[in-house]
Amino acid sequence: MTTKAQDGPAPVILWFRRDLRLADNPALNKAHATGRPVVPVYIHDEGTAVRPAGAASLWWLDKSLRALAGSLAERGATLILRRGDSETELRRLIDQTGADTVFLNRLFEPEAWTRDADIAHGLKTDGVECRGSNGSLLALPGSLLNGSGGPYKVFTPFMKALRAQAEPPAHTTGPRQLGAAPGLESDDLDAWGLHPTRPDWSKGFDWTPGEDGATAALHRFVSGGLADYSNGRDRPAEPATSRLSPHLHFGEISPWRAWIAARDAADGGKVTSGEADKFIAELIWRDFSAHLLHHFPTLPDKAFRPEYDAMPWRDDEPGFLAWTRGMTGYPIVDAGMRELWATGVMHNRVRMIVASFLIKDLLIDWRRGEAWFWDTLVDADLASNSQNWQWVAGSGADASPYFRIFNPVTQGQKFDAEARYVKRWIPELAPVPARWIHAPWNAPPEILRDCGIRLGTTYPRPIVDHARARERALAALKTVTAER
Ligand code: FAD
């Protein structure tokens, strides 16, 4: 099974990770530019060096790898699949091919960063070089520093600095032809068991993972939702956002591509500059999260503002279960949690509402919510997830203050006024008029009866009283701030 003895130049290895695309892929372009055969490999490393992917992410990975393998095959290359410890598998491949260089796009999460640095160091001592590129972020962590030379902890100056140095790279489509790596063993993707069975909970996942799916999503958005993005993005019933997050997470599209598409739409007069800028600002939030995690490695585990780790969290298992199952009795919260379970994503506005409900109405530790999202989101991203959970919890960098406690009823009435979102995800409430649906317990009994609703039976009563829960949350906050 070894090609080492073959004639011709030694190949180089292209180590795919979360850059599952051929276009705008700096590591691929550099590997190809060597003029040597390129051996593309993906290693499914289930070790403990980095946090293992959640179930929904594995669902996505399965399809994304199939798409990548298909695109590579069209260009004459075979994606080699290996399962096991990254360094061991790389060494095995190096041994089998005689490669002396590994090209890769860097991962910036601290654990992955350290693991990769260790691998690079280990390989270097054996004469194999690892060449890393940035294929996932707009700016390299460390390249944007504040006036005192430290990392930015506030978003707006970070955004300004990033925009000031932004130099969108030229679009590349990747090499037309890649040579095949002959005779290398590759795992059977089916045997990795990434797709759920018994039960298959992914039946409602309406996604096209892979580079083509990412490009199609971007085109759809630029010719649709972008025109009214700043307003539409807060309305969960509207298809107003890009749905690019899982594609960006798995690197099926470069964030620059999304940036440039929005800019071009504005330059061509299809959308206003303000709409394009708002969308670009969200892409920059993604970078901000990644930079924060890179510089503050404990972000997923510890409060960024340490006093918040003294919060008197409640141990409320029934409350947590009701939250995960979309059975809290607050329709906008339940709709969001059911959307998440059914589709692998949840609208951003509703993510904020359900997170606020868990942290403040139930007074449950934000880390439990972060872990649930990690397992159920197809776009689960260590940086964005922990940064956003801490944003809602008030403990993060540049976070929303803790005392800003969303009222789940008024949030529903404001952002889902016609209740199209709630009706979609909570069919048992669908007959209830929009006027009553966000607080069904306030509806006149005859209306509930006519709609076939029996609170506590066909749909739960609220598991907490929001007004009282709010007071409890504010009292909890006082214990934390009093300790400072
Ligand atoms: P669009 O509105 O079209 O935005 C474009 C892109 O900008 C997104 O694809 C995403 O990459 C980025 N973006 C948008 N909003 C944010 C944000 N608040 N923070 C960071 N990047 C952003 N996003 C994730 O990608 N992974 C997560 O694990 C994640 N967890 C979250 C947890 C909570 C509690 C909250 C409140 C938000 C979380 N987000 C997360 C951010 C946001 O909800 C999603 O990025 C967004 O809903 C994805 O939809 P979209 O692609 O249509 O976004």
For 431-449, how does the pLDDT look when each residue is reduced to its tens digit (9 = 90+)?
999 999 999 999 999 999 9
Compute, in angstroms, the gap from residue 286 CA to the centroid of ligand 1.
7
Q: Is the CB of 247 under 6 A from ligand 1?
A: no
Q: Whose CA is nearest to atom 30 of ligand 1?
A: 385
> How many other C-beta atoms lie within 10 A of the C-beta of residue 52?
12
pLDDT the model gives residue 3:
46
Calpha distance 159→280 (Å, rounded)? 10
- 383 burial class (0-12, 13-18, 19+ CB within 10 angstroms)? buried
Distance 245 CA to ligand 1 centre (A): 6
Tokens 């069975």 locate to 197
Asked whether 176 and 75 are in contact (CB, 8 A), the reply is yes
**Mean pLDDT to the nearest integer, 417-424:** 98
Average pLDDT value for residue range 420-435 = 98
Distance CA 381, CA 145 (A): 23
Ligand 1 pocket mutation, candidates 388, 392, 406, criterion most atoms within 8 A of CB: 388
pTM (predicted TM-score): 0.97
Site to substitute for ligand 1 among 245, 375, 386, most atoms within 8 A of C-beta:
245
Q: Would you say residue 374 has pLDDT above 50? A: yes
Tell me, using a 6 A CB cutoff, whether residue 352 lines ligand 1.
Answer: yes
Any atom of ligand 1 within 6 Å of the Cβ of 250: no
* pLDDT above 90 (res 482): no
- Return the closest-CA partner of residue 44 out of 28, 20, 8, 23: 20
Judged against a pLDDT cut of 70, whether residue 6 lies above it is answered with: no
Ligand 1 contact, 381 CB (< 6 A): yes
Which residue's alpha carbon is nearest to atom 33 within ligand 1? Answer: 388
- pLDDT, average across residues 170-186: 89
> Is there a contact between 451 and 272 (Cβ–Cβ < 8 Å)?
no
* Nearest Cα residue to atom 4 of ligand 1: 282
Ligand 1 neighbour 389 (Cβ under 6 A): yes
| Cα 456 to ligand 1 centre (Å) | 34
**pLDDT of residue 174 exceeding 70:** yes
Looking at residue 183, its pLDDT comes to 84
**Helical segments of 148-233, H only:** 155-165, 211-222, 229-232
Q: Is the CB of 407 under 6 A from ligand 1?
A: no
Residues 293-335 pLDDT 10s: 999 999 999 999 999 999 999 999 999 999 999 999 999 999 9
Residue-level pLDDT at 179: 77
Distance 348 CA to ligand 1 centre (A): 6
Residue in the block written with tokens 């959970």: 389
* 249 close to ligand 1 (CB < 6 Angstrom): yes
Question: Which two structure tokens, joined as six digits, stand for 90?
Answer: 């790389």
Q: Which residues are annotated as catalytic?
A: 282, 285, 313, 348, 366, 389
Res 5 pLDDT > 90: no
The alpha carbon of 320 and the centre of ligand 1 are apart by a number of angstroms equal to 23
Which residue's C-alpha comes closest to atom 45 of ligand 1? 245
Is there an atom of ligand 1 within 6 Å of 152 CB?
Answer: no
Residue with tokens 């379970």: 341
Average pLDDT score over the chain: 96
* Residue 40 near residue 16, CB atoms below 8 Å: yes
ipTM entry: 0.99
Instruction: Please state the rounded mean pLDDT for residues 99-110.
Output: 97
Ligand 1 pocket residue status of 359, Cβ below 6 Å: no
> Quick one: how far is CA 136 from the chain centroid?
12
Mutating to test ligand 1, I would choose from 228, 250, 282, 389 the residue with most ligand atoms within 8 A of its C-beta, which is: 282
| Cβ proximity of 316 and 362 under 8 Å | yes
The response to whether residue 348 sits with its C-beta less than 6 Å from ligand 1 reads yes
CA 255 to ligand 1: nearest atom: 11
pLDDT band of residue 351 (cuts 50, 70, 90) is very high
302, 316 contact by CB (below 8 A): no
Average confidence (pLDDT) over 236-256:
98
State the distance from the centre of ligand 1 to the C-alpha of 438, rounded, in angstroms: 25
- For residue 2, name the pLDDT band (cuts at 50, 70, 90): very low
Residues 36-86 have pLDDT tens digits of: 999 999 999 998 888 999 999 999 999 999 999 999 999 999 999 999 999
- Ligand 1 centre and the CA of 144: distance in Å? 22
Ligand 1 in reach of 80 Cβ (< 6 A): no
Predicted pLDDT of residue 182: 72
Cα 241 to averaged position of ligand 1 atoms, centre (Å): 10
**What does the alpha-carbon distance between residue 250 and residue 20 come to, in Å, rounded to a whole number?**
6
